[in-house]
Homo-oligomer: A and B are copies of this chain.
Amino acid sequence: MDLANQMLDLGRRARAAASALAQLPSEQKNAILRAIAEEIDARESAILAANAQDVAAAQRNGLAGAMTDRLTLNPERLQGMAASVRHVAALPDPVGEVIREWTQPNGLHISKVRVPIGVIGIIYESRPNVTSDSAVLCVKTGNASILRGGSESIHSNLAIAKALQHGGAKAGLPADSVLLVPQTDREAVRHMAQMDRYIDLIVPRGGDALIETVVHHARMPVIKHAHGLCIAYIDRAADLDMAVDIVVNAKTQRPGVCNAIETTLVHQEVAQSFFEKLARPLAARKVELRADEVAFAHLSALNYQPLVPATPSDWSTEFLELIMAVRVVESTDAAIEHIERYGSHHSDCIVTRDQATAEKFLRAIDSATVYWNASTRFTDGGEFGFGAEIGISTDKLHARGPMALEELTTYKYVIRGSGQVRA
C-alpha cells in the first residue's frame, strides 16, 4: 500500500472505532483507562528501551540538550505518565451531559446533549508523553484518535501506543480506537489534513512550519496550539511591588512556554519608579531588556545590563527565552492599542489598583485570557481547575485557551415529540 492508501486505511479504521467508542458507558471507559495505566507500568522496561534508542539517535544527531531532556523517559517519568492516566480515569465524564433542555409551546422537548466529536487527529513533536496524554483524553471523551508524533520520538511513541492499545483491549477498548501513524515525514501530515471524511478535527501542537502545513492543507476544522506573544501592562495606578512580582514571574519562571510574557508596557508616570524596583530582580536572572527610547534612558541611568535598544521587530517577537521588550506608553489606550496590534491574543495582563481602568482593559483586550493583577502563567488547564488539558488553543472557535475534556466534545439536539408535524 502506498502512503495515501495507508493513511486512508487508518482513517476508515478510526471512523469505525469511533462509533463503537461513542457508545461506551463512563464506567467502562474508566476501566479501560485503569487497564492502560497498568499496562504502562507492566511495560516499563520495553518503553524505556525504546526510548533509549530515540535518545541515542538524538545524541548522534546533535539535538540540543533541552530537546533531549524533553525526549528522555525514566522510571519516574513513566510512573508519572501512568499516574496521569489514573487521574483522568477519576475525572467526571462530560459525555451525555444535558447542556440545556426546554419544551417548545407545541410540546416538542428539546435537549442539547454533549457527545464525542468523533475522530481527532493530533500532530505533535518531541515529548513522548503527549502520545499517552492525548490518546487518554480522547478515550475518556469517547473519541478515536490518530496520533502523529515526531521522528525524534518514534520508537518511544510506538512502544507507548502498544501499551495503550494492548492495555485498553484487555478492558474492552474497541480495536483501532487509538492509532499511531508510523510515518514521521511531512507527507503523512498532508494526507491527514485532506481526510475530512475520516477526521473531524485536527489539533497541531508545535512549531510554525508544522502548523502552517496543517492550516494550508486542512479541509476539516483545525484547533491550533501555537506559541503566544503575551504582554503585561503596568498602569500608573499599579501597586509597583506587585507589578514587579508579576513581571518577574511571567517572564522568568519558565520563559520557553506560550504563556510567558514577551513585552512589558509601563505607564510613563510610573516608569521611573517601576524600573528602579524591577532592575535588581530582573538583572539577577540575567534578563536582556530591549527598550524603546524612553525606557532605554531610564534603564541606562540605572546601569541595567544587558540592555539594548528595541528595534521594531522586537514588538512582534516571541523570544521564548530570557529576553523582554519594554516600552513606556502615555496612556492605557496606548497600551491597549499596542496589545491589540502586536499581541497574539493568548494571555495579557494589566496591573493596577484602579478598578475602572482594569475593567476597561479587560473589556477591550480580545485575548483568550485577560488578567487583572495576576501572572499570565496561570493560563493552563490544571491552574484553571480542569484536571487535565490537551493543550492551550490559540484559536478562537470551539476551544479558546486551555482545552480540556469539555472541549473534546460537541453536542447534538435530541428532540422527543408525540407526532408533531410542521404547519
Contact = CB atoms under 8 A, between A and B. Distances in A.
Interface stretch (A41-49, A150-158, A318-326, A360-368): A360-368
Interface string A403-420: 000000011111111111
Nearest to A410: B396
Contacts of A215: 196, 219
Interface size class of A (residues with CB under 8 A): 35 or more
Nearest to A241: B419
A93 interface: no
Nearest to A360: B23
Contact of A372 (B196, B201, B362, B415): B415
Contacts of A23: 363-364
Contacts of A340: 19
Contact of A366 (B19, B379, B384, B421): B19
A421 B249 contact: yes
A164 interface: no
A167 interface: no
Given A362-B414, A414-B370, A201 B245 contact: no
Nearest to A345: B412
A239 interface: yes
A421 B369 contact: no
Interface of A: 19, 22-23, 102, 104, 108, 110, 115, 117-118, 196, 200-201, 215-216, 219, 221-222, 239, 242, 245-246, 248-250, 253, 340, 358, 362-364, 366-375, 377-379, 383-385, 395-398, 400-401, 410-422
Of all A-B residue pairs in the complex, the 6 with the closest CB atoms, nearest first, are: A374-B417, A249-B421, A377-B422, A242-B419, A374-B420, A369-B413
